[in-house]
Amino acid sequence: MWILDSVPRGGVDLWYKDGTVKKVHHEYDPPFYLHLPDPHPHHEMIEALESEYRSEECTFTTIFGDRAGYKVFAGRTVAEAIEQQTQYEAQLFNVDVRIDQRFMAERRIFPCCAEQESRFSPDLTCDLRQMEIRIRDNPARSSVCSDIDVVYGRTERLHGAERDVLADLFALVTSCDPDVILMPDADAWMQKLQKQARACGLVLPFSRTGKYRTMDARSYWSYGRVEHKEAALIPDGRILIDTAQSFVYRDGGLAGVLMAARLSGLSPNLASRFTPGTLISGYEVYEAVTRGIAVPFRKSDAEKVRRFAELRAADRGGMMFQPAPGVYEDVDEIDFTSLYPSIIVQSNLSPETIDHPERAGFLPAVLDPLLGLRIRTKQAKKQDPRYAGIDSILKWMLVTCFGYTGYKNAKFGRIEVHEGITGRSRDILLRTKDIAETMGFNVLHGIVDCLWVKGSPVGALKDCVEQATRLLTEVEHFDWIVFLPQNDGSGSYSHYYGRLADGSVKVRGIAARRHDTPEYIRSMQRDMLAVMSGAAAIADLLAVKDRVSAIYRHAVQELPHAAVSALAVNRRISRLTYAHRCIEGAAVNAYRTNGVSIVPGMKISYVVRDARKYQVDPAWDAGSFDCSYYRGLLEKAWKEISYAFTPGNTCSTEGGAGSSIV
């Protein structure tokens, strides 16, 4: 049977899909583990635990070895009280492992997988009934749902008085009984729907039991920027995905969500709402419980005191080679497949192997099958696009497994592991550069896990690099590639575009790729790149200059007549107050003026009405725009493209890339 959902409620409810959907309740009340380096001073506490919470002596396993301690059949509140009473001398395990995840891990079952099917199979076999609900109203401005599209085989539009619309929507959900509901801004709408349903005397039908779990709203830092997660109502026995806010769904589609749930042992409802970092953490926790390894509540392997010279040598980032800006012809990019996780597996890097490299590490053991799955899906998606979403989620989970090793609260992280990975990656990229240059290639650019080279035969280079590093690589051929300059004239590490051998154009860092670019400007640049994609060589590229220039002139000429909605700027705000006047600060104030509650990490969409006076309107309320401001954005986007046609920017291959560490 196929597990559709799992709910911790007085035990564990598992929802199975086997033709029909049914719930099976399992009694389950697991203990947490307690280890005291010296239990004698705490004998009174131990006696109280034995009498009150069925505590008993035991031995349990951690990644660092066996520990003598106690099973305590109680929850997190008791665990935190133990910490305080022992002045954090106590080491606690399995305190915050999700109950349903732990239940399934101990029984080696997992969501979204048929019986006898491998957890690491990229194939998803279950046929799920899907419904899509699109509410046309804006959840930031209104709690009223008066205009809804429902897609279930056919599209039905519900429009009119709110009570009638909600009654019709709820009737459709009840009669169609979908397994999966896809709904943009679902988390923002669900609490509003629940409130309006009560006011109208209706019952919210999204949960198959009528009960909902809650997730609180929060803002948090992730990779140097503030993110925000809306509060959520999660239904029982049915998958509800916020298609607008779920990173996992946007990048991986439904298949990506189901695969993330399968690997992490988490309900698809949770998997769709978590970041790749939380998913890789969940995957490691599931694997630990499956292997009988206790999961620490708090990290106790803090970074050791080190000399400054030692820190300076170890605590460095990935290697990068700065390109000389220009237009290059016949360039190959050699890219290592999942470099950082491959280094973890190959070099046996794990918290417990830093001081004991002879041990078989936990992280290499659990990442190896995940890495093997990624290698398979990366190949499979070339023949079958159905695997693209799964491959994307695997890529992000494996990318974040590296950052997670250096995270201060990571269950299975340690900063020395993080440093060891980057140190080996620098050596690998330098060795690859040396191999390429020894074989007569010219290295144009390099960034952490890939090099751009000019020369031949690239197949021989690929084979030689793989033999020397014992790591898999892939090669992409560019008929031509443009490395753009930075403001100071030096080459940009991350702003480039070029034509691949299949005729498509790969872009990084330019306006067409950035999320905050207004659609009018993005469309202009995409149209330019579409024309340029027909140029198979630099000579052909120069021949299309006039056609590309005409697109820019037309965009400038038509700008005064552009739809205001096409000029909306989309930004994720990091703060609520600004020391100086700026466009983003004006946008935040405009949202407040319109009665919208603003929190850090929230995405906002606005149109600049007058840049000089810092007058900005929320996108839904904008009626005019500042032509000169948007003309400036058009010009910036045009400069990124026109650089390819500027005389003197076509480069020879003499001279290599400069290096730096980030």
Distance CA 137, CA 159 (A): 11
- Give CB contacts under 8 A, 24+ apart, made by 543-550: 545/645, 548/641, 548/642, 548/645, 549/642, 549/645
Between the two ends of the chain, the Cα-to-Cα distance in Å is 48
- Residue bearing the bigger pLDDT, 401 or 568: 568
Query: Would you say domain 113-290 falls under CATH 3.10.420?
Result: no
- Residue boundaries of the structural domains of the chain: 32-93, 113-290, 563-624
49-82 burial code (b ≥16 CB/10 A, e <16): beeebebeeeebebbbeebebbbbebeeebbeeb
pLDDT recorded at residue 140:
75
Tens of pLDDT, residue by residue over 193-225, are 999 999 999 999 999 999 999 998 887 766 666
- Are 596 and 141 a contacting pair, CB within 8 Å? yes
- Are 127 and 120 a contacting pair, CB within 8 Å? no
Record the pTM.
0.91
Cβ contacts of residue 210 below 8 Å, gap of 6+? 203, 204
Tens of pLDDT, residue by residue over 48-102, are 999 999 899 999 999 999 999 999 999 999 999 999 999 999 999 999 999 999 9
- Report percent pLDDT > 90 for the chain: 78
Lowest mean pLDDT among 455-459, 577-581, 639-643: 577-581
Q: Please identify which residue in the block is written with the tokens 């109950």.
A: 99
Tens of pLDDT, residue by residue over 13-59, are 999 998 899 999 999 999 999 999 999 999 999 999 999 998 999 99
CATH value of 563-624 in 3.40.50.300, 1.20.58.1690, 3.40.47.10, 1.10.132.60: 1.10.132.60
Mean pLDDT of the region 162-189:
94
Tens of pLDDT, residue by residue over 406-418, are 777 788 888 888 8
pLDDT recorded at residue 363:
95
- Are 662 and 317 a contacting pair, CB within 8 Å? yes
Query: What does the longest C-alpha to C-alpha distance in the chain come to?
Result: 86
pLDDT recorded at residue 224:
63
